[in-house]
Structure 1
Amino acid sequence: MTFSTLLSTLKGKKNLFYLILFLISSQTLAQNLPTGFSRVQVAAGISKPTTMTFAPDGRIFVAQQNGNLRIIKNGKLLTTPFMQLPVTPEGERGLIGLVLDPNFASNNFLYVYYTLPDASHNRISRFTANGDQVVPGSEVVVLDLDPLSSATNHNGGAMHFRNDGKLYVAVGDNANSANSQNKDTYHGKLLRINTNGSVPSGNPFPTGSAQQKRIWALGLRNPFTFSVQPGTGKMFVNDVGQITWEEINNATTGGKNFGWPITEGVSTNPNYVNPVYTYSRNFSAEDGTGCAITGGVFFNPTTTNYPAAYWGKYFFQDYCSKWINFLDFSGGTVKRKPFATGLGASALGLTVGNDGNLYYLERTTSAVFKIIYTTNTAPEIVQQPKSISVPAGQPATYSVTVTGQTPLTFQWQKNNANISGATAATYTIASTKPTDAGNYRVLVKNAVGSVTSSSVALTVTAFNSPPIAIINTPAANSLYRGGQTILFSGEATDKEDGTLPASAFTWSVDFHHDTHTHDGPPIAAGVKSGSFTIPTSGEVSANVWYELSVTVKDSKGLTHTVSRDIHPYTSTITLATQPAGLKVTMDGQPFTAPHTETSVEGIARSLGPVDNQTLNGKTYVFEKWQHGGAANQTIATPQNNATYTAVYRDISTTYKLEAEEALLKGAQVSAKNAGFSGKGFADFINESDDYVEFTVYVPTAGSYNLKVQYALNQGTRNLRLQVNEKVISADLAFTATGQWTNWAGKSVNAPLTAGTNKVRLTATGTSGPNLDYLEVTPSTSASAIDLRIYPNPARSYVTIDLPAAWDASSVLTLYNNQGQPVYTTAGDHKNQITKTVKIPVENLPRGLYILKMQQGLAEISEQVILEK
């Protein structure tokens, strides 16, 4: 049937229902795989699959987001679920992680990662299998993860065992990027735990909080999947990116920080480990680019018939762009190579089966697929057509999957007679008639031979008009804000059934982001009206919208689906700094101001400063937000365009704090005289034991020169100086000039720590000075300190000549680029600091290291490069 004939057939219909179905069903995927490879459906009917794993006996366990765990056995999906776990399936929550115990064949243990029904947090639990069913009441809680925010995305969920017998668990940042660098939360991390949830020995952060002790790697955004290479234990983590890059990270060694949200993709920052491979996010469906890395696996099966060129490679897939690529490490550098394109959309969970084939899940088709390889040259049908029963007027589609030498020709037959024009792998009857009933098969040929498919039936039942659904509310072109409650309602009629009851209605909400979708807020089935609430946190992109859909079903099983898009109100957020050109963070990522973003109104955005920035030779620290509030704060995107300005101060040479300013910023002030209230700052220190305490911020630890300015010359003007509660001098006298003074001509140096310090000035004479300012300047001795390190780069030893001002009480520590100490002299009397120190480095990996020298509160550091 030609397209024009189809339109003529449909002329006068009330809607384009048939046309849409025809266009969908007649599309054949433009699959492109290497010669000999074919994509074959294993099982269907698995709604919203999330992950799968293989049992030693060949059964496939497949998790569904709604909490059902299914089994595919002997090529068939079992009707009864293995278990039905109560979960919250909203967004990216639900049953999202699954792994079998390494000794499953003997202990029948399996572990799942799921969201509790109250959505309070994600949980890792162990269950026991009894054949194809779970043992009732066998759940053992392994680990409860941190509380979840209202954001429903970025949960992670992947789990694997390595050859050390430990359980590794990937946890997303819960759409709060600050979590990824916080070692006191599981969010944004890869964990390493014992099977009972306890902390195993050998973890990289053995002290601190319970969360920190379980962390294997940090700085991850949404590590939805990861893979462990059989034999070697090499571990690659697939981290879904935000703006620019999708990442594959090597987490084989513990303690690595992959940089999110400070970096995304490859960075020059030595504090973070770069990915093994990245690909760009451009939503173009171009091979090698995409929207989200949702699967990756080392191809090292025990047995396979795949060509040797694919063994040992790392295969990975994208959620939007319908491709599978692989990484080739054979040449010494990582190279991406194409493998398959034109596959089904919304693919995830790429893995290797017991039979040595690649397997993956497709959410759009609710199915499991495998990719097989054959060397036959004659045609071979690897997926047969299936019998169909449809009411008259409905479409019917037959298809086959065939391997063999190309080109291949197809000829469909009805009752053993050729059908004119039916010469593709797929054959569709757009609108069936009773006379179309019969038996169908396809003859496939190539230059080597031919094969005929099995004969399958087409049964055409009595004509049945499909139902008609209508969405009444929300109205077309409706808009939303974060936190808004959306009311919905609809109605449906059917020619045979009349007005359909509420039980015929199934509603759903999809959250669209660029070219892909996420599950939106859940809606109960069997209602004609209701409501759902737009979250205020989660995805921060403005290229988003919600799609409300309703599907109605008549008594004969025909359905009709209609939908309505609800787009967001947006406004512009501009980040600025004083002075201009400094950096601030939004949602944890640093941006150079001015920076402008379009944001959905009502959606939460986090703002923060970046301290110790250098601009035009000056160093700046955060002072305040012009609009007020804490340094790190969360705002709701306003309904009007807004600018948020971070005010920074220059501390590269002098830190000068006005006395009144110190008071406003919370300086501790004490005065004994009864007339204190209402008097100016000149009266704050006017009797013995009166004091004022300044909060002083310095960027680096070291020796600083302190001096004050006072307004009037009165009484015996002596002060006691304390820094961080340590007395630096008990009785410092002033000159009589009333100008800036260095304590009667004496230079006073105080050791300050990097960050916040407390400087207290207390009157010790009969009356105190009337202070105006405190000034803090790096002392000459501090700025002149330097370490002489050689050779640099080094191979076997690093020699350090220490400055003359530093003595044997100093501590020398060498850190790797993850911030872990690899050498220290602290507590080691054999390595007592002398003027020259030699550090052995021949057993350390090559790379960038930081050498720190500490003496009391002062500290200096230098970079060291190790070569091999």
Structure 2
Amino acid sequence: MVRTLMVLGLLTATCHQLPAEETSFDPSRLEVTTLATQLKQPMELAVAPDGRIFYIEIKGQLKVYDPVSRQTSLVGEVEVTTAQENGLIGLALDPNFAENNWLYLQYSPPDFSGQHVSRFTVVDGKLDMASEKLLLKYEEQRLQCCHHAGSLEFGPDGCLFIGTGDNTHPHGDSHGYAPIDEREEKFPWDAQKSASNTKSYNGKVLRIRPMADGTYEIPDGNLFPKDGSQGHPEIYVMGCRNPWRISVDQKTGYLYWGEVGPDAGNDGPRGPRGYDEVNQARKAGNFGWPYFIADNQPYHDVDFTTEKIGAKFDPAHPVNESPNNTGIRELPPATEAFIYYPGSAFEKFPEVGSGGRTACAGPSYDFDPANPSQTKFPPHYSRCVFIYEWTRHWILAVHLTEDSDIAKIEPFMPDHKFTRPIDMQFGPDGALYVVEYGETWGVNDDAKLVRVDYVRGNRPPAAIAAAENNTGKEPLKVKLSSEGTLDKDGDALSYDWYQYRAGEQNPKPVLISKEANPEIDFTEPGVFNVELKVTDPSGAEAVASVPVIVGNARPQVSFVSPVDGEFFDSIAAIRYELKVNDIEDGTSDFEEADETGADEIDLEAPRRTALNLSLGTGSIPRGPGGAIDDNDPIGLRLMKKSDCFNCHAVDSLRVGPPFLKVAEKYRGNAEALEASVKRVREGSAGVWGKVPMLPHSQHSVEEIRDMVSWVYTLEKDNAVKVFDGFVGNIELTPAEVEKAGYVQLEASYRDLGNGEIPPLVGTAKIYLRQRKVEAEDADEVHGPRVLGGHTASGGKFLGSIDHDTYARFDQIPMDHVGGLTFRVTSAGSGGRIEARLDALDGPVIGSANVEVNGSWDAFHDVTSKLEPQSGRHDIFVVFVNEKRRGGLMNLDSVTFEPVTN
């Protein structure tokens, strides 16, 4: 087949001559495979000619994923400072990497106020630190944060492009508009010192040609003469704010980059609202910042001492008259953005949607019919540049004309959530490799490396089996379900359900139904495995299974107290009381037993009862299983869709062992992962007890590896406590209360079993909430962005807050709330915070004024008394300033104060 495709590729030149499977595009054939998880703040990746994927993490680590061994290893580590968003920020492989093993890193050395761009050699799979050749270094101001950008890409002619940010504090008195504060002490707040300064390397995309001896030369066609008389000759593009992801079209040599824009939410007297941009540079040029944005919309000159607003800047003749400018005064004319969009919905480019903004650009794709890969992207995406959004979680395919103009923009895999994509590249196999950063600006458990393939040919079906009422006394009527089973090719499937007893040697499956969703009567006690096999017309099949336990009813466990969703306080112990009902064993409620004649549970029952307490960060989890599905790691998502939780719990015994026990047993064993994958795939018996684990051949090896990898990450941290008995008191230390975002209480009771029928465990789970909630942990944040700050509790806060944006906190027990305390700061417009009941336009039950204190990180408390309420309500925290609508404040936390008499 490979040889056939190669011949077809050599004989065909146009799309209509390709095989039928190439001329028809089926988006359902795009499939995502997770290659590596637990990445720590990943920044960029680069795919080697042999298929290895190199990637960097901001704290200085260079790692590689080997597609043959499916293992990730540390290649090397450079010493960096991570202050003010610095670190290891750029990576590129030499065009001749297969022969010379050279790679290039852009990083922030701790002993130099700026960035290094260096070449290293990889020797025997490790970074040879002694091989470093420093090509270029450039200084930055480190008095204030931030915008370092950082991105490396080679063009088709061997030139290296280097993205650099404007190194300008984004807030201050600019209120989210052009940061052109020329006051002497406000140097870090003036982007004219960098982005529009021809003698600064900041706020640019540089272009150099690395030489074999570790030096570089200036290629023809850069923006300024090679003699440096007008500006640094390395500058290819100037007038950039934060070009933190760049890419080069390997066919045309055109440069693309995502430009992270300013924060103003609306047009104002100083100029246009904030836009993010995706730019295309066909040649060297000035892209306008900080004087212009989007389609060259001009800002006004502003005297920051008097706040007098002057004339608009002229995109045809921009002039840099800042005292912080060390370059030429009259600048090249400004170039309009290729694509641009604000925070709100935008008619010109409706495909981008609305929300926060962090634009990224690249890579480009051209279909190669001679590539034998069966997973390469199809001709549908030929002449496309892929743009993506770190904040909005999407990827878009921008189809280009032969002249590289925009033909159309279409969503790419819109039904799949890419969790903050931060870099993408096509590999030699024509598949797309994506690094997903994870949910927040920090270290995330859901950061991962994934591959997107276009799968050709017949695809096997995916089988899902579920059972309702699959545990209980005989006779037991069990509803079996194949809901969710599908064939991606749309083929009709046949369904076969088999039953066999667990634990038997060489069991003989008995066909019990050929219906998709049968109802089966089990009349004999025993432990059974019920297997669903689905088959397509080509004979491809998939299998899923569920256990059925007949002869013992699962005990029912409930909390008498406390009540789910209540507050916990450091001044009071948490008193709990549990109730257990079991058909065979009796009840723990002695009064109920007297009234109904039911048996009382035996005296040993409290020893079989456990209450697990764990402290979690963030807000109370929501959704099935107590977690938000969209935010679950891929392994957990796959497990929820499979049958894993029919037999296992995370930290309590069900039919199989707790996943925490599995993690503790195998963690640190280098060979355990693949052995566990094999057991899950093929089934096993006798490892953890009598009940065998069924085969899970319905899952691919990659899917099972994701599942097992998630299990191996589980750790019982030092905040987990276990209590025995039906009643008791839980004491929390002040340190534990301060640390916890919520308390999770999970009660379990293990019954006595019934002869050969194994004991079953019943569970109940509730959550108690912290009065102080980190603002970034709100149940919904609409408008503001989650940012990092060393003075914020938890290291994060809500910033970029504009008028009429909000954060929502769900189902607060308001009869226990007498006021709200907001931890805030403002060096912008200030304003008012309103607490509204149940809706964005609901009644205002409290408000607090936020005065400008001249700092973005000097957080302090403001408090609002609330009108008395009863019951549970959603609280909308709405930010208001009708006159100065942008850059209002930062919010660190919200505290729901107790009612006082």
Say which structure is richer in strand. Answer: 1
More helix by share: 2
Report which structure shows greater RCO (CA 8 Å, sep ≥6).
2
Task: Give the TM-score range, shorter chain.
Answer: 0.3 to 0.5
**TM-score, normalised by the number of residues in structure 2:** 0.46
Which is greater in Rg?
1
